[in-house]
């Protein structure tokens, strides 16, 4: 018998989404900007300490707008965590600015504050004060944002917090996406909740979020006719997508609990193996555990590494994925500067993302457990 494929992270609807879509249809709010967008933004704002929110087409468009609003332009330096998904970085290039990539630290796998400060000093010294810093909360784990905020203050450089993977994660009682000058979210298909495609930009500055909405709707001036004074974009989320988002937010806490259960499942199974390690939650940190990822230290084993495990899972029709390949290793960015000691290279080489959907069933976990037990000789 052929076992059904187990996916890494697939959309998981709670049930209310379809009612919200039906409601939008009943009101004939199929057109781009309708009341569901406003409600969706209101719910997002509640999570993010009443900050202001604009819902957009994608996380990538949110970063593009954030950079725009910070006045980033041609030849400006933008410091960015190297270990991330390309969506964090492409918008820097849309503006013809220059990314400089910063290494990770070993605990959270996110941007290393020491390497960041070295980069800031290096560029200030040559008269090129960085225009912005983009930090990422990889796989749901908050970065060491308090150290980063101190540097941001000390050198007066604003922060864009890419919280695309960390909706619902927090440090103490502050939610990710609320720390930076701008926070950005993504509701792409594989994220912890999805609107089938979407994103958001967050700020405590009401005027900047109003400006984001303006830029996201072709920068149309407030006149009876079509008047334009600056370049805009078609970046607003659709009303139907926002309707899905309202339903998804109702189950966010439940889905986070299920993702954290997945993490505990893998941790209980594998953490005692010498040579296998996990992304650690520092004191006071709370990760939504979007994707559980492990590091396999090849030197501790005979003929075992993350790639061999990936193939073994694949042969059992179970999807797993390599970690994001750091940006300083990408052919696209081979001319770019990188500051750090290649910690992200090592994490990337050893890492593997395991199936982590909130819809993973007990049966599916049993299948995964069997393969992992066999692979690591746990029986």
Ligand X SMILES: *Cc1c(COP(=O)(O)O)cnc(C)c1O
Q: Which residues bind ligand X (CB under 6 A)?
A: 58-60, 84-85, 87-88, 136, 162, 164-165, 186, 188, 199
Rounded-to-integer distance, Cα 344 and Cα 105, Å: 8
CB of 86 to ligand X, least distance (A): 8
Nearer to ligand X, 23 or 196 (CB): 196
Rounded-to-integer distance, Cα 340 and Cα 157, Å: 20
Contacts of 243 (CB under 8 A, 6+ apart): 17, 20, 21, 23, 24, 36, 40
The per-residue b/e assignment along 52-79, b for 16 or more CB within 10 angstroms, e otherwise, is bbbbbbbbbbbbbbbbbbbebeeebbbb
CB of 58 to ligand X, least distance (A): 3
Nearer to ligand X, 135 or 209 (CB): 135
Please return the burial class of 305, using the count of CB atoms within 10 Å of its CB with bins 0-12, 13-18 and 19+. Answer: middle
What stretches of the chain show up as alpha helix (H) in DSSP? 16-26, 35-47, 59-69, 90-94, 113-125, 145-155, 206-216, 239-250, 252-270, 306-315, 343-350, 362-375
CB of 93 to ligand X, least distance (A): 14
Nearer to ligand X, 141 or 164 (CB): 164
Nearer to ligand X, 29 or 290 (CB): 290
Nearer to ligand X, 109 or 265 (CB): 109
CB of 81 to ligand X, least distance (A): 9
Look up residue 203 and give its two tokens: 């700020």
Residue 56 backbone phi and psi in degrees, to 5: -130, 180
| Straight-line distance from the first to the last Cα atom of the chain, in angstroms, rounded to the nearest whole number | 24
Please spell the DSSP secondary structure of 250-307, one letter per residue. Answer: HTHHHHHHHHHHHHHHHHHHHTTSTTEEE----TTEE---SS-EEEE-GGGSSS--HH
Nearer to ligand X, 88 or 169 (CB): 88
Nearer to ligand X, 79 or 372 (CB): 79
- In the bound state, the residue with its beta carbon closest to ligand X is 59
Nearer to ligand X, 111 or 296 (CB): 111
CB of 62 to ligand X, least distance (A): 8
CB of 353 to ligand X, least distance (A): 12
């Amino acid at each position: 018998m052929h076992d059904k494929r187990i996916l890494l992270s697939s959309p998981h609807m709670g049930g209310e989404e379809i009612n919200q879509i039906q409601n939008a249809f009943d009101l004939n709010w199929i057109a781009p900007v309708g009341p569901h967008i406003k409600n969706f933004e209101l719910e997002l704002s509640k999570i993010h300490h009443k900050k202001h929110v604009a819902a957009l087409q994608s996380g990538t468009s949110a970063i593009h707008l954030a950079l725009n609003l910070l006045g980033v332009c041609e030849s400006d330096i933008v410091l960015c965590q190297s270990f991330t998904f390309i969506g964090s970085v492409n918008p820097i290039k849309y503006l013809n600015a220059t990314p400089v990539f910063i290494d990770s630290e070993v605990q959270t796998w996110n941007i290393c504050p020491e390497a960041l400060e070295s980069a800031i000093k290096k560029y200030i010294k040559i008269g090129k004060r960085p225009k912005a810093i983009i930090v990422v909360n990889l796989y749901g784990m908050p970065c060491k944002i308090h150290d980063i905020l101190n540097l941001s203050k000390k050198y007066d450089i604003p922060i864009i917090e890419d919280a695309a993977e960390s909706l619902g994660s927090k440090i103490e009682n502050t939610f990710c996406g609320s720390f930076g000058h701008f926070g950005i979210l993504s509701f792409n298909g594989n994220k912890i909740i999805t609107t089938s495609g979407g994103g958001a930009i967050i700020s405590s500055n009401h005027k900047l979020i109003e400006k984001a909405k303006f830029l996201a709707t072709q920068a149309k001036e407030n006149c009876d006719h079509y008047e334009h004074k600056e370049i805009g974009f078609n970046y607003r989320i659709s009303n139907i997508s926002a309707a899905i988002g309202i339903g998804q937010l109702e189950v966010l806490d439940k889905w986070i609990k299920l993702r954290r259960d997945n993490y505990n499942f893998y941790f209980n199974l594998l953490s005692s193996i010498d040579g296998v390690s996990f992304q650690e939650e520092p004191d006071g940190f709370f990760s939504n555990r979007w994707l559980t990822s492990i590091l396999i230290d090849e030197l501790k084993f005979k003929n075992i590494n993350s790639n061999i495990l990936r193939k073994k899972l694949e042969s059992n029709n179970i999807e797993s994925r390599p970690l994001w390949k750091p940006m300083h290793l990408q052919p696209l960015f081979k001319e770019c500067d990188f500051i750090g000691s290649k910690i992200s290279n090592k994490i990337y080489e050893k890492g593997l993302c395991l199936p982590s959907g909130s819809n993973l069933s007990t049966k599916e976990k049993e299948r995964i457990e069997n393969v992992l037990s066999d692979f690591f000789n746990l029986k």
